[in-house]
Amino acid sequence: MMLDRLLKVECNHSSKRMVFCFSILVFILGLMAAPAWPDGHQKIIKSHGISKFGNLKYPASFPHLDYVNPDAPKGGEIAIWGFGTFDSMNPYSRKGRAGALSSIFFESLLTGTADEVSSNYGLIAESLEYPEDRSWVIFNLRPQARFSDGTPITTEDVLFSYELFLNEGLTSFRAELGKAVAETEILGPHRIKFVFDTTESTLTYPAMVGGIPIFSKAWFDKTGAKLDESRMEPALGSSPYIVDEIEPGRRLIYRNNPNYWGRDLPINRGQNNFETIRVEYFADTSAAFEAFKGGAYTFRNENFSKNWATGYEFPAVDKGWVVKREFHDGTPVSGQSFIFNLRREKFQDPRVREAIGLMFNFEWSNETLFFGIYNRINSFWENSDLAASGLPGEDELALLEPLRGMVPDSVFTEPAVMAPTSNSRQLDRNNLRKASNLLDEAGWRVGDDGLRRNSDGNVLKVEFLGSSPSFDRIINPYVENLRAAGIDANYTRIDPSQFTNRERERDFDIITSSFGFGLEPSGPGLRQSLGSEHVDGAFNDTGLASEGVDRLIDHIQEATTIDELHVAVRALDRVLRAERIWVPQWFKSLHTVAYYDQFEHPENLPPYSLGQLGFWWFNSEKAARLSEEGAL
C-alpha cells in the first residue's frame, strides 16, 4: 500500500526511516481450545481481523477486497525508477543504503487494506483471539503458509522474528516492542500467544506484533546473517515476489513466485498481478526523465512540478503511447518540510527557528517554480480533520492545561500556528523585518560585515543539506533570503550515500524530511519520531525532547474512542506547530502519474493507495500494439 508513495512528494528522495506498518490480526478457536486464563471472565473475541476502533468492513466470508478486479490477468512487467544507488538488500538495518522495494519479500501475520484506516486482516495468521481489554492475543497460523523455498511457516519462525527485532532491530523500535510485550508462549506449531504489559493501553499492541515481518529461522541459522547488517543477499521471506536480478547501483528485478502459497486467499485476489517488477536506477533526475521518454521504464509517479506542467510534450505522448493521468489521493499529507536539528545549540531558541521559517517564500516558489500546483502545509495532519484550528476548545484545553510550563504559552492564547504567507517577490520585506526583530531579540545582532553574531562573537551559520539536484532551484533562493537577514546560510548537495550517512549520524543543520503519522496514529509510532526517550533514535530526526509532547503522546496511546483520539491528536498538532521544529513545505491531493499505455486499473480506486504495484494489471494486447509501433 505504501510502495506507490515512495517518490510521491516534490523531489524528496532522501533516505528515510523505515516505518514499520503496525498491521492487525485475526482470531480463531474457542476459549475451550485454550488454557483457562486469569482473565477468563472477559469475553474472548475470535475473529478473522481486528480494528483499532469500530467494526471491520469485511466479514469473515468476504470473497475479495472491494477495490480490486478479482479476475485481473496475471503477467507482464511494470518498470519504475530509483534515485541514486544502493549497496544492500536488507531494509531493516541502518547500515548501507537498501535497494528500492527490498522489503517486498516479507509478509506479516496481519495486513491492512487501502480502503480502511486501521483495520487489519489475517494473512499468515488465519485467525486471532483476544480478550476485550486486549491484554493478550493468540495468533492461529495458516497451516498452508510457506516460505518461498517451500518450507512451512511455524510459530518457531514467528517467535524468532519477534526476538530478532527485539534484540537486533532499530533501537527505538525494539524499545517500544519490549515495552509492549511481557511474555510469549508457543502453544503449538501454528498457535502462538503474546501477553502484553498492561501498564498503558494495549489497544494498539496486537497490531504491533501482528505487523512484524516474518523471517525463516532456518535461513538465519544456516547463513549466520544478522538483522543489523548490510548484505546483498535478501533474507528468506514468504511473499508473492522473489528476487530475479540484482545489479548493484543499476537495476533490481523482482519476479512473481509461481509457487506462492497465498495466491488464492481472498485478501490477495486481484493483487500481485505483474510477473516482474523492475527498478532502474539513475543518479540524475533529469536523466531519469529522459529515460522514461525513451521507454527505459514504463511507469512514473511524477514528483516534479515543472515536468508535470511543461515536460510532457514529447512524441510518445503525442502518439498516445504515454498516458498522463491525475488520480485523487486520500492518504494523509506526508508533512514534508525543512526540519531543524534541535541538537544544535543555535536552534534551541524558537525565535531563531521562527525567523528562519519566515524567510521561505512559498507563494513566490509556488508561482515561479511549481506552476501553482501545490498548497502549503500548515499541520502535521494536513488535509484531514485531525488538524488543529483556531483557539483550543474545552476538550483540548482539558489535556493542555496540566501541561502549562511544558508547552509554549502561545497554545493557550493564540490560534494554531499557520505557515507564514509572503508576497509575490522572492524577498518579502515585511517578513524580513519580522525575522530581523526575532533574531535581535534572540541575541543575534548584525555586525559591520552584515552577519549576525551572538554575545560570544559566533556567527549564525546555517547549512541546508541535500542530495537531489532538483532542490537546487528551491533552496538557493531561500538561502539568498536568509543572507539578506544576516544569516550566513549555504546549501551543500552531496551524493545520496553521503547524505544517508550524515542523516543517520545527525550531522546536519537543516534537511528535507517528512512526518507520516497516519489518520489513527499510535503511541509507539509517535514516540519513536517525537518522544524524549528516543531523542537519539533512528526516527527522531529533529531531536525533539519535550515533556509536554510526551504527555500528549501518552493521551493518544490511552485513547479508547475515536473522539478521544482526535482531540489528543489535535492538541499534539497544536503544540508541535507552536514548537516550530519545521519549516513546512507543500503538498498536492493528487497522484500525478504517467505510464505507457499497457496497464489497467480498477474503475474505482481506493482512497488510501494508488496501488500500481499491487492491484493494477498488464494488458498484453495493448503492450503488443506499443511494441509493433516501436514505442518500447
Residue 246's SS3 state is: strand
Picking from 17-26, 109-118, 334-343, 373-382, which range would have the lowest pLDDT averaged per residue? 17-26
Number of domains in the chain: 3
**Domain harbouring 268, CATH code:** 3.40.190.10
Q: Is residue 482 part of a domain?
A: no
- Spatial distance between the Cα atoms of 432 and 256, rounded to a whole number of angstroms: 56
Query: Given this model, what pLDDT does residue 516 score?
Result: 84
- pLDDT value at 617 more than 60: yes
* Same domain for 418 and 511: yes
**Domain harbouring 411, CATH code:** 3.10.105.10
* Same domain for 403 and 283: no
Q: Estimate the share of the chain in helix, then strand, then coil, as percent rounded to the nearest 5.
A: 30, 20, 50
Burial tier of 63 (Cβ tally within 10 Å: 0-12, 13-18, 19+): exposed
- pLDDT value at 357 more than 50: yes
The cell numbers describing 250, all together, are 543499476
Q: Is residue 459 part of a domain?
A: no
- Spatial distance between the Cα atoms of 333 and 554, rounded to a whole number of angstroms: 23
* Same domain for 598 and 509: no
- For 410-465, give the DSSP string: HHHHSPPP------SSSS-HHHHHHHHHHHHHTT-EE-TTS-EE-TT--B-EEEEE
| pLDDT tier for residue 529 given thresholds of 50, 70 and 90 | very high
Burial tier of 36 (Cβ tally within 10 Å: 0-12, 13-18, 19+): exposed
Q: Is residue 576 part of a domain?
A: yes
Average pLDDT of the residues in 515-539: 92
Query: Given this model, what pLDDT does residue 3 score?
Result: 37
Query: Given this model, what pLDDT does residue 572 score?
Result: 98
Task: Answer yes or no: are the C-beta atoms of 141 and 125 closer than 8 Å.
Answer: yes
User: What range does the domain containing 597 cover?
Assistant: 241-330+589-628
Q: Is residue 524 part of a domain?
A: yes
- For the four alpha carbons of 37, 38, 43 and 49, in that order, the dihedral sign comes to negative
- Spatial distance between the Cα atoms of 415 and 518, rounded to a whole number of angstroms: 23
Query: Given this model, what pLDDT does residue 10 score?
Result: 38
* Same domain for 409 and 306: no
Query: Given this model, what pLDDT does residue 546 score?
Result: 97
Query: Given this model, what pLDDT does residue 118 score?
Result: 87
Q: Is residue 108 part of a domain?
A: yes
Domain end residue (candidates: 197, 223, 249): 223
- CB within 8 A of 369, min separation 6: which ones? 305, 306, 473, 474
Task: Report pLDDT digits (tens) over 9-41.
Answer: 334 433 333 333 333 333 333 333 333 344 557
* Same domain for 163 and 57: yes
Neighbours of 466 (CB within 10 A): 24
Q: Is residue 126 part of a domain?
A: yes
- Spatial distance between the Cα atoms of 35 and 143, rounded to a whole number of angstroms: 21
Query: Given this model, what pLDDT does residue 40 score?
Result: 52
Q: Any idea which residue has 491492512 for its cell? A: 112
Domain end residue (candidates: 193, 223, 253): 223
Q: What is the pTM of this model?
A: 0.88
Q: What percent of the chain has pLDDT over 70?
A: 94
* Same domain for 124 and 188: yes
The DSSP output letter for 353 is H
Q: Is residue 447 part of a domain?
A: no
- pLDDT value at 55 more than 90: no
Query: Given this model, what pLDDT does residue 297 score?
Result: 98
- pLDDT value at 364 more than 50: yes
* Same domain for 600 and 568: no
Domain end residue (candidates: 194, 223, 252): 223
* Same domain for 249 and 207: no
- pLDDT value at 165 more than 60: yes
Q: Is residue 471 part of a domain?
A: no
Average pLDDT of the residues in 503-528: 93
Amino acid letter for position 111: T
Task: Report pLDDT digits (tens) over 407-464.
Answer: 999 999 999 999 999 999 999 999 999 999 999 999 999 999 999 999 999 999 999 9
- Spatial distance between the Cα atoms of 155 and 193, rounded to a whole number of angstroms: 10
Closest CA to 187 of 138, 135, 123: 138
- pLDDT value at 580 more than 60: yes
Strands 510-513 and 461-466: parallel
The cell numbers describing 439, all together, are 533574531
* Same domain for 403 and 326: no
Closest CA to 530 of 557, 508, 509: 557
* Same domain for 414 and 345: yes
The cell numbers describing 215, all together, are 523471517
| pLDDT tier for residue 331 given thresholds of 50, 70 and 90 | confident
Query: Given this model, what pLDDT does residue 570 score?
Result: 98
Task: Report pLDDT digits (tens) over 224-276.
Answer: 999 999 999 999 999 999 999 999 989 999 999 999 999 999 999 999 999 99
* Same domain for 373 and 281: no
Task: Answer yes or no: are the C-beta atoms of 350 and 408 closer than 8 Å.
Answer: yes
Q: Where are the beta strands (DSSP E) in 516-589?
A: 582-584, 586-587
| pLDDT tier for residue 399 given thresholds of 50, 70 and 90 | very high
* Same domain for 602 and 560: no
| pLDDT tier for residue 150 given thresholds of 50, 70 and 90 | very high
**Terminal Cα distance for the chain, rounded:** 28
